[in-house]
A and B are shown apart, each in its own frame.
Chain A
Amino acid sequence: MSSTAKPEPVPTPDTEPFWDGCAAGELRIQRCLDCGRPYFYPRPVCPACGSVQVEWVTASGEATLHSYVINHRPAPGYENDAPYAIAVVQLTEGPRMMTSIVGIPNTPDDLVLDMPLRVRFEPRGDVFLPVFGPVADQ
């Protein structure tokens, strides 16, 4: 058993809309009103064109498995989870994000790159954390 809690994100003014979305069951990302490009992680300036005219949009929540590792040396708080996958998923809209993979055994045989995944939200401290699992699961 672990005495250490898993890390809890602490929202900042620029990321609050994202975490508010997670609490409402929505995966929100930003989109540039000038060049149209969607992006993640939350920040006030479009990384593609430098515009500050950006809006929040709700992503579909659909993604593919882009890359991962299966960690055998657990972080503090994850002792009961190891070995566990740390993944990068590519959202249908384009941006990528780090996440956990749930609802599938975290093994090399079960985690096939480019497999379709869908977002779900798990409570973590004061926020809800986006994680991804198989599409058919929902």
Chain B
Amino acid sequence: MFAYIVKRLASAIVTIFLVATLTFFLMHLIPGGPFLAEKAPSPQTLKALQEKYGLDKPVGIQYLNYMKRLISGDLGTSLKKRGQEVNDIIRTKFPVSARIGLLAVIVAVSIGIPMGSIAALNRGKWFDRFLMFISTLGIAIPGFVVSTVLLFFFGVRLRILPTVGLTTPLHYILPVTALSFYPTAYISRLMRSSMLDVLGQDYMRTARAKGLSQFMALFKHALRNAILPVVTYLGPLLAYILTGSFVVEKIFTIPGLGSEFVSSITDRDYPMIMGTTIFLAFLLITMNVIVDIAYKIIDPRIKLK
């Protein structure tokens, strides 16, 4: 177990290093610099600015300098928001995205698992069919469509929910619903099929035969086994939430890290691109490692290599 964790962490570090390197050279391939977009500065100021931020040096040297600072945990200062440290920007923006993302995960899991189980228990009945229909739609409708339709009906037509920013708890309803739509549908389907699988197993009959009540058999045996595929889905789910947050933050004008990442690319804000990419990659990869380890704890049959 310990050796496995060490091995996974080592490969995670290699991957993050690769992502950082790739991102660095890719973003320097994009023409235009961070200072060109706004009103064009005079050649002298441009030169001074580039010297100040070390952009006048060859890309290779810049890369080495960046990597040196990265190892000590310094992500540099933003070129667009002068004087702001990238570290600080991430520290203030990330909690906003994380709250929405976490709420969406909780909603998706706590609706998807019971829904899928109920559907499996009522296989072929109207609830099952209804849920399958809804979840098939849920998987096919892109996140930006869900978000904009929600925005239109609840924010513009009915005017019952706020659509801009995140100031009150009410503000969370629409973005979290939009973000959790797809994963809820996906988890219900996953849960239904794995539950059907488990219900047909011999140990379920044994559990009933030895006198366990239907309820206990479901909770003690069926649920614990059927939930495994959902646990493996948590890794991809996190990646989905991240992707979705780019869209949701744009539509509901939420000042989170996702919108920061997208705008940093269009702004050519090099340290911001690097900082957000490395941070998000780090987050995704560590979460995947954690999910793998959690999988092992839940299911002792799995042998980690």
A and B found bound together: no
